[in-house]
Structure 1
Amino acid sequence: MYTQKIGYLEFRYGADAKRQTANVGDSIQSIAVRRLLRRLAVDDANIVGIDRDSLKQYAGPPVKLIMNGCFNERCFPLPPQITPVFFGFNAESESVITKNKPLFKQHQPIGCRDNATKSLFDKHGIAAFVTGCATLTFDKRDQTAATALPVIAFGAGSGVLQQKLLENVPKPLLENARLVYQREPVGEIPLSDDSVAKMDALAQSYLDVYTKASVVVTPLLHVASPCVAMGIPVVLARRDWDDRFTAIDRLLPLYTPTEFSSIDWQVRPLDIEPLKSAMFNVARHLLDDRKPADDDLATLSKCYAARPVLQPPKASKRHWRLRSLFGKR
């Protein structure tokens, strides 16, 4: 049982005064870390939310903070009250690492959300490994609802829904699909406590929708990742490749426009329970200021150090080889 304060990240967007929408995926990350902490026997009274975009200004009591998510230079330096627990850490730029080397050296090995971030730490001589995103630790759903329908979930920016993708979606799937836009208009920046609570409730409502889906089609990391964890078939298709996906692309195919016409629509759920177990164990060790166990690190490495599931064969870039890490799909 933990008696000290353990923190998870909230997202209030105070660093972006012109922002007009909140990303529901950020709130899904918050929910995932809270559930992870409860499973690690952290009492609710000791779980506290801390705003990512004002980390430097934190002046509360001492706290161990789970550093899951994307971090930029504005998040550093951390105040002395915050002890970072690097689990699912993503560096927005290399300068995040170069400008904070002493911090990372002190807390190595660093648990990274993706291989791209791990590679940056490797480059600068800082021990690191890939944990994946904390949203991969969601519990597996009990069963598929008898009335399950497909869901197409999308967002803004690089997470937009591609017309070319829609042209390749099987007609029955498209006609029956529920559309989810995982962005929400906001009337205030930074978000107030009430607004953060509303975003959490909205995120939970979307998770409830995904839990009952027969298949989820999405370009979004924080739709694909929790759905894979919950045992929901996922088609991950987006307009471009992105370094942020260099962990989940080891678990399932990441289709880009040149592959949309060859998507396997008979997708099956993945069984990632061994990976989840290793993630839980690693999180527990990091929270206890202990080095993760070698067997758990080996499990993570087996999953995430592999090459992406979709491989361009030498003969053609139009056809891809599918490789499963966890048996049949």
Structure 2
Amino acid sequence: MMQYGLFSYETENIGDEIQSIAARRFLPAVDTYVDRDYVGQWEPQGDTKIIMNGWFMHPPYAWPPKSESIHPLLVSMYVDQADSRVGEAFFSSESVAYLNRHGPVGARDMSTLEFLRKHGVESYFSGCMTLTLQADPTIEKQDYILAVDLPEAVVEMLRQKTKRPVIESSPYFDANMSRENRFQVAEYFLFLYQSAHAVVTTRLHAMLPSLALGTPVFLVMDHLKYDSRRYAG
């Protein structure tokens, strides 16, 4: 019997869980979880389908998957070009063969698309999985501005420009939270993104879900956080 898997994470970024919530909508069930950054070491108990979307990848660079029981859908993938060790893992001859065997690969952004093709991987531009999120009709719009990971000077400017309450938030939390708590926090952030009057953020993983949920969003291109390669497309 086919099982269905979902990525879990041990990062500080709850935006990762939002990627999994977006993928989860397309699964008939979630039978098992696997840490994305250890997927290359994963041995599922039986044939398992999994949507492999999001950021690739962090240490220990466990890639590609070895088990023949894993049946991946490679879509909405971002390949980190700033870390040379990612390139070494992702574009080894073993990995390129794996990607093409299970491809074509959906690239989350145009830069990843070019990066994949440059290394001989058949690929296409899919965009981000979070853009498929659907608004919850039971959530009512409220009258606050959500400021996600903004510099303090920008928050102060917002408060001077609007009479609406400006609520500050950050999707960065203790990486040691339980998986269940991480997913609960991610669901809460989606509630905030949808119920806000508008979202102002420096973060891609706040901007795209807000767009999907129908909330006006303004991206602040903070030089400490903005990477044009990640936003291309």
Cα distance in 2 between the residues matched to 1:6 and 1:47? 5
Deviations 1:182-201 (A, max 9, x none): 11124x4xx6xxx0101111
- Partner letter of residue 231 of structure 2? F
Instruction: Specify the alignment match of 2:61 in structure 1.
Output: 74
Cα distance in 1 between the residues matched to 2:163 and 2:207? 18
SS at match of 2:64: coil
Structure with max Cα Rg: 1
Instruction: Kindly indicate whether the alpha-carbon contact (under 8 Å) linking 2:139 and 2:191 is maintained by their aligned counterparts in 1.
Output: no
Which residue, 130, 139, 145 being the options, matches 2:134? 139
SS at match of 1:244: helix
Instruction: Kindly indicate whether the alpha-carbon contact (under 8 Å) linking 2:139 and 2:195 is maintained by their aligned counterparts in 1.
Output: yes
Structure 1 consecutive aligned stretches of length 4 or more whose deviation exceeds 4 Å: none
Instruction: Specify the alignment match of 1:327 in structure 2.
Output: none
Aligned length: 219
Instruction: Specify the alignment match of 1:32 in structure 2.
Output: 22
Which residue, 246, 264, 267 being the options, matches 2:232? 246
Instruction: Specify the alignment match of 2:117 in structure 1.
Output: 122
CA distance change for structure 1 residues 4 and 173 in 2, over 3 Å: closer, same or farther? farther
- Partner letter of residue 100 of structure 2? K
Please say if 1:88 is aligned against 2:88: no
CA distance change for structure 1 residues 237 and 32 in 2, over 3 Å: closer, same or farther? same
Instruction: Kindly indicate whether the alpha-carbon contact (under 8 Å) linking 2:146 and 2:196 is maintained by their aligned counterparts in 1.
Output: yes
- Partner letter of residue 9 of structure 1? F
Cα distance in 2 between the residues matched to 1:69 and 1:144? 26
Deviations 1:248-281 (A, max 9, x none): xxxxxxxxxxxxxxxxxxxxxxxxxxxxxxxxxx
Cα distance in 1 between the residues matched to 2:155 and 2:167? 13
Structure 2 regions of 5+ residues with no counterpart?
82-86
Cα RMSD of the aligned pairs, angstroms, is 2.3
- Partner letter of residue 90 of structure 1? Y
Instruction: Specify the alignment match of 1:58 in structure 2.
Output: 42
Deviations 1:88-146 (A, max 9, x none): 11112333432121112212311011111100122123221111111111113549846
Please say if 1:178 is aligned against 2:171: no
Instruction: Kindly indicate whether the alpha-carbon contact (under 8 Å) linking 2:135 and 2:194 is maintained by their aligned counterparts in 1.
Output: no
Instruction: Specify the alignment match of 2:91 in structure 1.
Output: 98
SS at match of 1:36: coil
Q: State the shift of 1:177 in Å.
A: 0.9
- Partner letter of residue 232 of structure 2? T
Give aligned-pair identity as a percent. 27
- Partner letter of residue 211 of structure 2? V
SS at match of 1:59: coil
What aligned pairs does 1:193-272 form with structure 2 within 5 A after superposition?
Answer: 195-240=178-223, 241-242=226-227, 243-247=229-233
Q: Which structure dedicates a bigger proportion of its chain to helix?
A: 1
TM-score, with normalisation over the residues of structure 1? 0.61
Deviations 1:154-196 (A, max 9, x none): 2xxxxxx23453354362438611111211124x4xx6xxx01
Deviations 1:44-68 (A, max 9, x none): 2x54321112212212222122110
Cα distance in 2 between the residues matched to 1:164 and 1:147? 24
Instruction: Specify the alignment match of 2:155 in structure 1.
Output: 166
Cα distance in 1 between the residues matched to 2:90 and 2:111? 13
SS at match of 1:9: strand
Instruction: Kindly indicate whether the alpha-carbon contact (under 8 Å) linking 1:141 and 1:231 is maintained by their aligned counterparts in 2.
Output: no
Instruction: Kindly indicate whether the alpha-carbon contact (under 8 Å) linking 2:144 and 2:164 is maintained by their aligned counterparts in 1.
Output: no
CA distance change for structure 1 residues 10 and 146 in 2, over 3 Å: closer, same or farther? closer
Q: State the shift of 1:70 in Å.
A: 1.1
What aligned pairs does 1:311-322 form with structure 2 within 5 A after superposition?
Answer: none
SS at match of 2:6: strand
TM-score, with normalisation over the residues of structure 2? 0.84
Instruction: Kindly indicate whether the alpha-carbon contact (under 8 Å) linking 1:162 and 1:238 is maintained by their aligned counterparts in 2.
Output: no
Cα distance in 2 between the residues matched to 1:60 and 1:107? 18
